[in-house]
């Protein structure tokens, strides 16, 4: 499917490791819409990596996240924007996502998420140690209501990004037909 859907601002939301960036790039290829990644934008605008920004403070990172989310949301459709896993925590951001476009929540099973992200890899919120599973599960639990509040939920296991892309294209074509 290419070029058949009405242009929109498509936001991918979900926990770390849900596959937002890979699926976002696939969707962008399939739809012929530009792809952007909010974390990459924050890094290129500040000249700092996400871990370096978190070293200043998480609050600083959240301010930058809101600033660039708003800026991106004001750009004309169509585009696909992959967001960071914590974008939904601020009410202001949830409002922007709901008001300006269509958000899809990649609701990947927590054990699949954990297996993907447990080694950290540039993610400052992934803890070390024996307690890592419990701490991340608790963060995941706390965020569920926020993810579900901004858009439609796609329940997922360990499907490939290609399959997830097809599922989203199907969902979009149903909601717009």
Binding residues for ligand S3P, per CB under 6 A?
16, 20, 39, 50, 84-86, 123-125
Contact 87, 125 (CB under 8 A): no
Shortest distance (Å) from residue 13 CB to ligand S3P: 9
Which tokens belong to 32?
A: 């012929």
- Tell me the helices (H) and strands (E) count for the chain, helix number first: 8, 5
* Bridge-based pairing state of the strands 9-13 and 35-37: unpaired
Rounded CA-CA distance 175/5 in Å is 10
CB-wise, 85 or 101, nearer to ligand S3P?
85
We find the least distance from the C-beta atom of residue 4 to ligand S3P, in angstroms, to be 28
Q: Which is nearer to ligand S3P, 5 or 103 (CB)?
A: 103
Helix/strand/coil for 108: strand
- Closer of 5 and 85 to ligand S3P (Cβ): 85
Determine the distance from the C-alpha atom of residue 45 to the mean position of all C-alpha atoms in its chain, rounded to a whole number: 19
Question: C-beta of 135: minimal distance to ligand S3P in Å?
Answer: 12
Containing 13, the helix (H) or strand (E) segment is strand 9-13
Q: CB of residue 16 vs ligand S3P: minimum separation in angstroms?
A: 4
Which residue carries 């360990």 as its tokens? 158
Q: What angle do CA 93, 55, 53 make, to 5 degrees?
A: 45
Residue 7: CB minimum distance to ligand S3P, A: 25
């Amino acid at each position: 499917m290419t070029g058949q859907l009405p242009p929109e601002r498509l936001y991918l939301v979900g926990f770390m490791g849900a596959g937002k960036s890979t699926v976002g790039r696939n969707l962008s290829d399939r739809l012929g819409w530009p792809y952007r990644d909010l974390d990459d934008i924050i890094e290129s605008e500040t000249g700092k990596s996400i871990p370096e920004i978190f070293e200043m403070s998480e609050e600083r990172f959240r301010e930058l996240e809101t600033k660039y989310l708003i800026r991106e949301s004001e750009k004309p459709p169509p585009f696909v924007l992959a967001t960071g896993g914590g974008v939904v925590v601020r009410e202001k951001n949830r409002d922007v996502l709901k008001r300006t476009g269509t958000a899809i929540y990649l609701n990947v099973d927590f054990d699949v998420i954990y297996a993907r992200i447990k080694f950290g890899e540039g993610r400052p919120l992934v803890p070390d140690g024996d307690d890592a599973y419990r701490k991340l599960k608790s963060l995941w639990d706390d965020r569920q209501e926020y993810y579900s509040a901004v858009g439609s939920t796609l329940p997922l296991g360990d499907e490939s990004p290609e399959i997830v892309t097809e599922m989203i294209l199907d969902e979009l074509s149903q909601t717009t037909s």
